[in-house]
Amino acid sequence: MKFFFPDSQDLVSPTYDFVHDEYSPLRVRQRDDRYAHEVLSEPAYDGVLVSKAVVDGSVQGAGKYSMPQRQRIYRMGVRAFFRLPKTTSTMGDCGSFTYANEPEPPYSVGEVLDFYEECGFDAGVSIDHVILGYLKHGQPISDDWYRRQQTTLECAQKYLDETQSRNSTVEPVGAAQGWDPISYSESVAELQKMGYKRIALGGMIALKTPDILDCLEAIDDIRADDVGLHLLGISRIENFDDFRSHGVTSFDSTSAFRQAFMDDRDNYHTVDTTYAAIRIPQVEGNVTLKRAILSGRVRQAEAISGERSALVALREYDAGKVSATAALESVLEYERIFIDPKKKSYEAQYRRTLEAAPWRSCRCGLCADHGIEIAVFRGTERNKRRGFHNLATLRKKIALRLEGVQQ
């Protein structure tokens, strides 16, 4: 089972100054900043997934890449652009969610294959048109859903024909869309007839796990033994064994990474559990806190003092100079300044994080380098590093599951 990390140009600066919260004046982002696989001492993923919509943009506008970055990935190729290890796989797709509201995909088959070939991807997913819905009992099938499924299948046939006529080195991956177990299995059956040996199941991100398993079980009835499935946007490591038993050989997801700064409490992951990162928002950078200061609810001098005291206390705790209780008291004093009075304190979660100090025993590389800073919820440099740590943890969970299966 291989894990692919979808690219969204997530990098960290190795020269970032955590004490003063500032970048080096000599920093050049693309040259100096580093991807997860460059700063972690443990593997973060087996491959990277890059969407054409992220690089080239779509009907919604420009993508995540600047013009110089876009020119560079086309000129250098995906492997050199990301400075990838030889063992890391690459896959491209179209980013169908970016044009989900359009009547038709905005790209031609030729344009998509040009993107895959010029960037040097190992594999590329055919054009799909995502179906934003799932059929419940008694619900009529939407004509739009049916059209999207047929468009996806027609594009898959044209894409496969194009790869064969060009004698392309890009491995073709057929995209399957559906709205229930039967429609997904029908899509997979059609793709198999075309000749696809690798099929990506799209449109499942919003589905509950039992619905995904129902679809995989239906696909089992028609799937050939030599056909492997890829789950687009799905991780759910707790269901790893179930997915694998149904022919899933790879998946991609940003969930573990994004939980580092998007989840309310499960921010720092270990193999066995999760912890809440300790929120120390920047007075000058936090919109909510700035509004509270402008409204007069919070005095700026008090906020700055509380922020500095909390950070110093956490660093002293990590250095063994003060107790976890003393550090927590400083954190809570600052929390009382910036937190919404209607919101419950994170005291219990912070105490658990501090007492466990999971970063001290972590071997991902970043935790050893940065200590408690990686457990602080504050700014992109700390938050992304914690996200990278979570990726390494997810990869470790996968390895442990695979070892268990092999034993």
Assess if residue 304 is contained within a domain. yes
C-alpha distances in angstroms, 108 versus 111, 155, 175? 5, 9, 15
Give the whole-angstrom CA distance, residue 177 versus residue 188: 9
Output the pLDDT for position 407: 40
Q: What is the DSSP string of 193-241?
A: HHT-SEEEE-S-TTS-HHHHHHHHHHHHTT--TT-EEEETT---GGGHH
Residues 281, 382, single domain; the answer is yes
pLDDT of residue 27 exceeding 80: yes
Average pLDDT, the chain: 94
Confidence tier at 130 by pLDDT (50, 70, 90) = very high
CB of 351 closer than 8 Å to CB of 324: yes
Mean pLDDT of 44-68: 89
**Distance in angstroms (rounded) separating the CA atoms of residues 174 and 94:** 12
Is 5 part of a structural domain of the chain? no
Q: CA torsion sign, 114 to 118 to 123 to 124?
A: negative
Which tens digits make up the pLDDT trace of 307-328?
999 999 999 999 999 999 999 9
Residues 168-189 have pLDDT tens digits of 999 999 999 999 999 999 999 9
Residue that finishes a domain, picked among 192, 224, 253: 253
- CATH number of the CATH domain containing 129: 3.20.20.105
Q: Is the pLDDT confidence value at 138 over 70?
A: no
For the chain, the domain total comes to: 2
Active site (catalytic) residues: 93, 252
**pLDDT bracket for residue 287 (50, 70, 90):** confident
**Coil, strand or helix at 58:** strand
Q: Mark which of 253, 277, 301 sits at the end of a domain.
A: 253
Burial of 23 (0-12, 13-18, 19+ CB in 10 A): middle
Q: Which domain holds residue 130?
A: 46-253
Among 205, 224, 253, the domain-final residue is: 253
Looking at 132-136, 232-236, 333-337, 392-396, which range is the least confident one?
A: 132-136
